Structure 1
Amino acid sequence: MRPAVLWLTLWLLFSPGVGLSARKTIYICPMHPSYKSDRPGKCPICGMDLVPASQVAVPSAKGERRKGEKAPGTRKAPRERAFPLVPVRISPERQQLIGVRTAPVSHQRLVLTLRAPARVAYDETRIFEVHTRVAGWVEEVRVDWTGRFVRRGETLFTLYSPRVLATEEELLRALRWLDELKETRASPEALSTAREALRAAERRLRLWGFPESALALLKSKRKPLRAFPVVAPVSGFVIKKTVFTGKRITPAEPLYTLADLSRVWIEADFYETEIPEIKPGLEVEVFVPGVPRSLRARIEEVYPWVEDRLRVMRARLTLDNPGGRLKPGMWAEVRVRIPLGMKMVIPDEALIYGGGHYYVFVKKGPGLFEPRMVRVGRKVDGKRIVLSGLRHGEEVVVSANFLIDAESRLKAALSAFGGGGGGHAGH
């Protein structure tokens, strides 16, 4: 009898009809497929109803294809088209559990605040280069280091020039000639000729940069100056110096570069997307580290190019700098407030990005939430400007909207596979 019993047991186990009827149904959670049970009930992780495993498409192992599945590389339709979103109904208890909150679509008067990194720079209209107008040799350097502050008329160095020395002697001869003519009571024509020779020598010296103080000293002492002083044309800081004792210089060579820091430029960098908003005349607020209060100014110039490396547009404004608190090279921040007028807005957290578009969940009734595509503009103070897709007064979900999105996708997927999904409509 043993062989007969063995054959009967094998027939009961492997017979197609008997095996399928005796096999138990396995239940899984659609949101957590790793949890399995041999009886229906609730998922202990998320509280959703368990469904038969045959109604849920479980992804196959990596590199494995199921029957009827397309080979790798086959183009598939986008997820939004294959699994469209559908309205979902969620009970009040479930809403409280997952923390659903809504906010109304409203109209508000918006002010766009733009922040831009900036730096303090020299005012290019207040930078001066010192040149001589005659060739010569440096005798003595009085201002001999970079960074020193010099006042207008202060001697920078002394210059020996044979041409200037010869003109000094010519001036002294004309001066002595004039004195002799006055003593001898010469004719007016002779006195006029002597005075014209004196004025011609004085004009040449002034054109070469001979200071008035040195000219007065020359006339009083009646003795030529071997090296005449070269003075600062303006007050400012020495930011560059190429002079040293004994150097031969020419008029083409810059000797000192002086910068007047009583006013400075602020150069701010704005992103390319902000170019339409930035215009000359806009009032801005400037914050500089180390300066206790903010400074106000207006944009004077928007440079007509975009910086290649950083891809930013540069704007310039001017600030007074009493006491020299603002140093060229310091970092700063510029803030611009631009009124945008009345706009329809929603909280930014209500938006869900769906790959090329945005959508929100709109409350259509007690516990009913409908997905809707929207077009939005820029973000302002945590809110998004609505261009289309919503009406004033509607309510959109701003908290737990991703959980509602998951429920909507699941319901749409189950409906597409013929699984219904009615058991989840109340969650």
Structure 2
Amino acid sequence: MSDESPDRAEKVNDHSEPSPRSLRVMAVVRWAILLAVTALAVHSVWRYWGPGSTALPAHREDRYYCPMHPQIRSPDPGECPICHMTLEPIPEERRQPAAPRTSASASDAGTDGGPVTAAAPVGVTTLPPPGVVPVTLSLERQQLIGMTTAPVVRRALGQQLRVPGVVEAPENAAAQVHVRTPGFLERVEVRQSGVRVARGQTLAWIYAPEIYQAEQELLTARRWAGASTDGGMTESGHDDVFASARRRLQFLGVADGDINEVLRRGVAMRAVPVRAPIDGYVTRYAAVLGQYATPEMTLYELSDLSRVWIVASLYERDLARVRRGMAAQFAAAGESGPPIAARVDLIEPSVGTETRTARVRLSVANPAMRLRPGQYGDVTFSLPSAPSLVVPRDAVANTGVAQYVFVDSGGGRFEPRRVRTGALVGEVLEVIDGLREGERVVARGSFMVDSESRLQAALAASPAASDAGTVTP
């Protein structure tokens, strides 16, 4: 046993320790791998950053774009990653679209030594409209879209202003019928709306205990005033009592004619009439037979339509042209008769938040009931003649946020410019601010020019195609 142990230990040691030759081979392999990786790294660095580098620059000029998605642009041909359309070459005039100039940049020009732009003439709006930029169109493209221009001219606008109007019942000719003391309606004479009643006409009969008691006191006071007194009360004292009893009935709403009738008969009236306070038409009634009426209840509503209001709706731009007392005419829709002459009675101080119009009131006599509340028609104002700048109505684009035109700057370049407009007279539109006489604006085809301008503004907003998505080559 003891003789075999050293041999086994020697065998174990031979298997666990590598030979010097193996160690040398492994070292050579490691160094070879390290040298290969180093050489590959040096080659890569030299290829991309060396003098003979063929790598692409950080950014090249975009030469292709997608017509359906203008934000997709690329320096190389390919297809759109959104709609998979083949990219088309960007036209020369679209590669560097002019950015809109803001009022802040205009006001800051020249503060840092840069060029100072010439100040705009008085009366010309300088703030550019949002979402559009100047465009350059070749003569061929102008002819293709049928675009024409027209000059800004000064013309006397002494014509009429026509606006919609509606007939309304006057607010100052309405009346409500109430009782002044509680009671029961024993008879109702007028039981429908729309009927005409005269002032003092009986509408209903009411039994009110307080009125009945006041009538009896009136009769008693008259007997006292007509009899000789033994208690020392003077004749004037009896007259004061009688006058006080009469005034009480008046305060309770009893008409003088009904009080005289009680005195003539010599007996109190059980039910007294409820009379109409004005001439007019019953617009609403709530009187019911046997009803217990109280002072807060409205039994009837009356409206006197011998004069009516015609309310015209004027836009904000037309308010400065209408004055109180100005002559006007109203022609009801569907009527063939002559228009009704009227005058402006009131221009309300507020403008509707939804319609952006102001109410202009005209008061006219209506003896024959030719006009009825709810009728509508046209109100025509006779405006004084005044020279104004005008352009064709189709030249002005109105987005609801801004009104603007495209001004011909020459050389096929058209610049958008804000304007403030006035009255529309026929096919021309008054321009209050934004243009000068003699300038030319796009009159026909302005919609196509506006579309082209917005497309170029969208291209200017996305300078690199890689920012919007990957273009498939």
Corresponding residue number in structure 2 for 1:116? 163
Corresponding residue number in structure 1 for 2:59? none
Amino acid at match of 1:246: G
Confirm or deny that 1:126 pairs with 2:173.
yes
Q: How high is the TM-score relative to the length of structure 1?
A: 0.63
Q: Do the aligned partners of residues 85 and 246 (structure 1) sit closer, same or farther apart at CA in structure 2, a change above 3 Å counting?
A: same
Cα distance in 2 for residues equivalent to 1:391 and 1:274: 22
357, 361, 366: which one aligns with 1:316: 361
Cα distance in 2 for residues equivalent to 1:83 and 1:72: 29
Corresponding residue number in structure 2 for 1:302? 347
Amino acid at match of 2:269: L
Matches within 5 A, 1:14-413: 68=76, 85=136, 106-111=153-158, 113-181=160-228, 190-277=234-321, 280-291=324-335, 292-339=337-384, 341-348=386-393, 358-359=405-406, 373=415, 377-378=420-421, 380-381=424-425, 382-385=427-430, 391-392=437-438
Residue 209 (structure 1) shift: 1.6
* Contact 1:111-1:380 at 8 Å conserved across structures: no
Q: Do the aligned partners of residues 395 and 251 (structure 1) sit closer, same or farther apart at CA in structure 2, a change above 3 Å counting?
A: closer
Offset from partner CA, 1:256-299 (integer Å, 9 cap, x none): 11100011122223335545555544443322125412223333
* Contact 1:376-1:384 at 8 Å conserved across structures: no
Amino acid at match of 1:192: S
* Contact 1:377-1:384 at 8 Å conserved across structures: no
Offset from partner CA, 1:193-241 (integer Å, 9 cap, x none): 2222221111111111212222222112211111111211111111111
Cα distance in 2 for residues equivalent to 1:401 and 1:218: 83
Q: Do the aligned partners of residues 376 and 383 (structure 1) sit closer, same or farther apart at CA in structure 2, a change above 3 Å counting?
A: farther
Residue 371 (structure 1) shift: 5.9
- What SS is found at the alignment partner of 1:327? coil
Q: How high is the TM-score relative to the length of structure 2?
A: 0.57
Cα distance in 2 for residues equivalent to 1:151 and 1:195: 34
Amino acid at match of 1:222: G
Q: Which runs of 5+ in 2 are unaligned?
A: 1-62, 100-132, 451-473
Cα distance in 1 for residues equivalent to 2:371 and 2:196: 16
* Contact 2:64-2:73 at 8 Å conserved across structures: no
Cα distance in 2 for residues equivalent to 1:311 and 1:105: 28
Amino acid at match of 1:68: D
* Contact 1:350-1:360 at 8 Å conserved across structures: no
Q: Do the aligned partners of residues 245 and 345 (structure 1) sit closer, same or farther apart at CA in structure 2, a change above 3 Å counting?
A: closer
Residue 123 (structure 1) shift: 0.5
Cα distance in 2 for residues equivalent to 1:377 and 1:257: 47
Corresponding residue number in structure 2 for 1:36? none
Same amino acid, percent of matched pairs: 30
The aligned length equals: 335
* Contact 1:137-1:161 at 8 Å conserved across structures: yes
Residue 308 (structure 1) shift: 4.2
Q: Which runs of 5+ in 1 are unaligned?
A: 1-56, 90-94, 406-427
Offset from partner CA, 1:148-197 (integer Å, 9 cap, x none): 1111111111111112111211221222233332xx9x899532222222
Q: Do the aligned partners of residues 133 and 346 (structure 1) sit closer, same or farther apart at CA in structure 2, a change above 3 Å counting?
A: closer
Amino acid at match of 2:136: L
* Contact 1:376-1:385 at 8 Å conserved across structures: no
- Bigger CA drift: 253-262 or 164-173? 164-173
Amino acid at match of 1:201: A
Higher-Rg member (1/2): 2
RMSD: 4.6
Offset from partner CA, 1:344-379 (integer Å, 9 cap, x none): 4454567799x98534669x9xxxx97665775536
Cα distance in 1 for residues equivalent to 2:194 and 2:386: 49
Q: Do the aligned partners of residues 201 and 371 (structure 1) sit closer, same or farther apart at CA in structure 2, a change above 3 Å counting?
A: same
* Contact 2:218-2:242 at 8 Å conserved across structures: yes
Amino acid at match of 1:221: R
Cα distance in 2 for residues equivalent to 1:167 and 1:377: 71
Cα distance in 1 for residues equivalent to 2:308 and 2:76: 73
Structure (1/2) with the larger strand percentage: 1
Residue 380 (structure 1) shift: 3.7
Residue 315 (structure 1) shift: 2.7
* Contact 1:88-1:404 at 8 Å conserved across structures: no
Cα distance in 2 for residues equivalent to 1:403 and 1:226: 84
- Bigger CA drift: 76-85 or 248-257? 76-85
Offset from partner CA, 1:123-157 (integer Å, 9 cap, x none): 11010011111211111111221111111111111
* Contact 2:152-2:389 at 8 Å conserved across structures: yes
Cα distance in 2 for residues equivalent to 1:78 and 1:167: 96
Offset from partner CA, 1:80-114 (integer Å, 9 cap, x none): 7899537869xxxxx9xx99999776432113654
Amino acid at match of 2:297: E
